Amino acid sequence: MLKFSIASFSFHRTLAAGKQDIFGYIADSRALGAAQLDPWNAHLTAHKDGDAVLHGGHNPRDAKFIPADDAHLARVKAAADAAGLSFGCLAVDGAHVYEPDAQQRQANRESAYRWLDVAEKLGAQQVRIDAGGPDAMPDDVLAIIVAGYRDLIQRAADKGIEVLVENHWGPTRYPANVIRLLDAVEGLGLLFDSHNWADGLQQQAWEMCAPYARSVHIKTFAFDEQGNDPTVDVARVVRLLDDSGYGGVWGIESVPRDGDEYGAIRQTAALIERLLTDGT
């Protein structure tokens, strides 16, 4: 049986509408058959401002998500334990490594530290923190990003947490930059998103970066009558990851154009399972 998780961004519209919170996400993940919890940090904030959720989701550089207090996090951990689900990867927006202003970089670093503390309290295995920076990632920018990740990795290691970079925005939309960064930072893993690549580079990126995947987000947008997504070659990306030896949980981050978030999760899970079982 497929071991999958639901990146909680898959529910970002439900969250923004006030129809789900972190406890609802845990319950829904269990009901849908997920093997672990992969929360987006908007689900773990101290406030529930729908506009802020939508803005942060579409503008991760500008996300302003403040962690909930320890008492709330303890209730979250208890709910996950009761559901029999552990925390896998916590995806953090708004704490990226690079900003041109040193003061802003430090503010982001302190935010990243707080989210690492949250991950430790929840027992999460991984935390995704973005690189940030311009698309080109010149040497001086790379040096700052490398130093930042090394600092985060050292702090995370003491907590038993793996730090991941995701191909998300800025320089990491380009596969050459992703591999350059991974090669420069020992211990940095890749959250491989099937979609977030620069125009025209998706197929190349899949081939280059699939072997580095430590966690995945399989993106889907629409489904035809056969249960396939006609907008993206999910079969190819799943095959490349599988052939590369990816053995982790299959993360679903569906963004359905019709707005049916629950239906898209079910269909994406069924599609991945079918592809891994019979390849069609």
CA pair distance 233, 134, nearest whole angstrom: 28
Share of the chain above pLDDT 90, in %: 94
* Residue 46: predicted pLDDT: 79
Residue 138, helix vs strand vs coil = coil
* Residue 1: predicted pLDDT: 85
pLDDT band at 19 (very low <50, low <70, confident <90, very high): very high
Q: Within a 10 A sphere around the Cβ of 18, how many other Cβ atoms?
A: 11
Statement: residue 117 has pLDDT above 90: yes
Going by C-alpha positions, the residue among 111, 91, 102 that lies closest to residue 140 is 102
Residue 177 CB contacts under 8 Å (≥ 6 apart), including other chains: 137, 171
Average confidence (pLDDT) over 105-119: 98
Q: CB–CB of 164/178 below 8 Å?
A: no
Q: Which residue segments constitute the domains of the chain, with CATH numbers given?
A: 4-278 (3.20.20.150)
Residue type at 278 in one-letter notation: D
Q: Which pTM value belongs to this model?
A: 0.97
Average confidence (pLDDT) over 167-172: 98
Q: What is the pLDDT of residues 213-227, one digit of tens each?
A: 999 999 999 999 999
* Ordered strands of the 250-252 beta sheet: 36-38, 4-7, 250-252
Q: CB–CB of 87/80 below 8 Å?
A: yes
Residue 45, helix vs strand vs coil = strand
* Residue 279: predicted pLDDT: 74
Q: Which two tokens stand for residue 266?
A: 């079910």
CA pair distance 42, 91, nearest whole angstrom: 9
CA pair distance 30, 13, nearest whole angstrom: 19
Q: What is the pLDDT of residues 251-267, one digit of tens each?
A: 999 999 999 999 999 99
Residue 195, helix vs strand vs coil = coil
Q: What beta strand segments (E) does 150-230 contain?
A: 162-166, 189-193, 213-217
Residue 166, helix vs strand vs coil = strand
Cα-trace Rg, the chain: 18
Average confidence (pLDDT) over 159-166: 98
* Residue 155: predicted pLDDT: 98
Residue 99, helix vs strand vs coil = coil
Residue 248, helix vs strand vs coil = coil
Average pLDDT, the chain: 97
Average confidence (pLDDT) over 46-59: 86
Q: Which two tokens stand for residue 145?
A: 């990003």
Statement: residue 49 has pLDDT above 90: no
Statement: residue 280 has pLDDT above 90: no
CA pair distance 280, 273, nearest whole angstrom: 10
Q: What is the pLDDT of residues 124-153, one digit of tens each?
A: 999 999 999 999 999 999 999 999 999 999
Q: CB–CB of 209/170 below 8 Å?
A: no
Q: CB–CB of 43/15 below 8 Å?
A: yes
Residue 101, helix vs strand vs coil = coil
What length is written for the chain?
A: 280
